């Protein structure tokens, strides 16, 4: 089966500019996650969707980050305006929905963002 | 806040030797622990998981050990190969939330 798709793979912008990332999860996966992975660190969850509803966005910097998952399939993550500290790899993951139980998360290749 | 962490940031082993990667966790409300492998330019790839009511689980060339008494998790890789070179992360699944908390990672380097 096809894996999680992300685009673009790389993006370089200047601070205060805006940027958007796209994710297409594995077909049939109801749960979608966006993670931020700063160099040398483990991924940190930014937002979790179940179908098109937000389950957890407690670590999303809402003054500059936004995400949506229209129609419960593809998702976009936007940063506006970007700061230097936003330089990181943005990973998208998806999993099947089984309420209350652990389901394996499958990760996409990520988008490497560099803010100059 | 509570988090999963690793003891060592880097580990170098000879090809063919066994590798042991360690992880300490602090959240008691976790029902699964997972090991991921991340190669350069790729997303994390699932290796093996273990449920909190188990203390050992084996896969192909990998074994995960869970010691809940000291909140310690380890990944053993038998007969390491060049393809095992990567960064390894442990993660814990928060019970009921389907939410993963990742540790910092250990870079495993295989010497020929």
Residue pLDDT, tens place only, A66-106 = 999 988 899 999 999 999 999 999 999 999 876 556 788 99
Contact flag A101-B98 (C-beta cutoff 8 Å): yes
CA distance B54 to A76: 38
Mean pLDDT of A23-29: 95
Mean pLDDT of B15-31: 91
Residue A1 clears pLDDT 80, i.e. is over it? no
Distances in whole angstroms, Cα of residue B100 to Cα of each of A72, A104, B7, B65, B96: 21, 10, 19, 19, 11
Residue B3 clears pLDDT 60, i.e. is over it? no
Give the pLDDT of residue B96: 75
Listed residue (A101, A106, A102, A95) closest to A51, CA to CA? A95
CB neighbour class for A71 (10 Å; exposed up to 12, middle 13-18, buried from 19) = exposed
Residues of A in contact with B31 (CB under 8 A): 102
Torsions phi, psi of B92, nearest 5? -120, 140
Tokens 């593809």 belong to A74
Q: Which run of H or E residues covers position B11?
A: strand B10-14
Task: Establish, for the pair of chains A and B, how many residue pairs have beta carbons separated by less than 8 Å.
Answer: 55
Mean pLDDT, all residues of chain A: 93
CA distance B12 to A11: 32
Q: Which of B41, B96, B103 minimises the CB distance to A42?
A: B103
Residue B84 clears pLDDT 90, i.e. is over it? yes
Give the pLDDT of residue B28: 83
Q: Is B8 or B65 the better-scoring residue by pLDDT?
A: B65
CA distance A99 to B62: 29
Contact flag A105-B100 (C-beta cutoff 8 Å): yes
Q: Pairing between strand A19-24 and A44-50? A: unpaired
Residue B65 clears pLDDT 60, i.e. is over it? yes
Listed residue (A111, A49, A56, A37) closest to A74, CA to CA? A49
Q: Which of residues 64-83 of A touch B (CB under 8 A)?
A: none
Residue B1 clears pLDDT 80, i.e. is over it? no
Confirm if A106 and A83 have CB atoms less than 8 A apart. no
Give the pLDDT of residue B4: 56
Residues of B in contact with A95 (CB under 8 A): 98
Q: Pairing between strand B19-25 and B4-5? A: antiparallel
Search chain A and give the residue with CA nearest B42. A109
Confirm if A80 and A60 have CB atoms less than 8 A apart. no
Search chain A and give the residue with CA nearest B39. A109
Residues of A in contact with B57 (CB under 8 A): none
- Residue A45, chain B, CB below 8 Å: the answer is yes
**Percent of chain B at pLDDT above 90?**
75
Give the pLDDT of residue B6: 43
Q: Which of B41, B44, B104 minimises the CB distance to A41?
A: B104
Mean pLDDT of A3-19: 97
Mean pLDDT of B9-24: 94
Structure token digits, residue B52: 């909190």
Residue B108 clears pLDDT 50, i.e. is over it? yes
Torsions phi, psi of A70, nearest 5? -70, 140
Substitution target from A46, A60, A102 for chain B, most B beta carbons within 10 A: A102
Residue B93 clears pLDDT 60, i.e. is over it? yes
């Amino acid at each position: 089966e096809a894996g999680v798709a992300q685009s673009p793979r790389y993006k370089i912008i200047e601070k205060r500019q805006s940027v958007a990332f796209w994710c297409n999860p594995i077909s049939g996966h109801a749960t979608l996650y966006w993670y931020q992975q700063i160099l040398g660190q483990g991924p940190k969850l930014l937002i979790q969707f179940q179908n098109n509803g937000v389950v957890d966005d407690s670590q999303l910097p809402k003054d500059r980050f936004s995400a949506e998952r229209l129609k419960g399939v593809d998702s976009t993550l936007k940063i506006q305006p970007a700061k230097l500290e936003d330089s990181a790899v943005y990973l998208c993951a998806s999993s099947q929905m089984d309420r209350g139980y652990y389901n394996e998360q499958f990760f996409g290749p990520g988008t490497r963002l560099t803010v100059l | 806040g509570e988090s999963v962490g690793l003891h060592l940031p880097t580990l170098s082993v000879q090809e063919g030797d066994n590798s042991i990667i360690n992880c300490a966790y602090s959240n008691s409300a976790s029902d699964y622990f997972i090991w991921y492998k991340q190669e350069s330019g790729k997303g994390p790839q699932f290796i093996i998981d273990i449920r909190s009511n188990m203390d050992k689980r084996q896969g192909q060339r990998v074994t995960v050990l869970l010691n809940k008494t000291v909140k310690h998790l380890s990944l053993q890789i038998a007969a390491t190969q060049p393809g095992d070179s990567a960064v390894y992360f442990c993660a814990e699944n928060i019970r009921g939330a389907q939410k993963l908390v990742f540790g910092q990672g250990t870079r495993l380097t295989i010497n020929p």
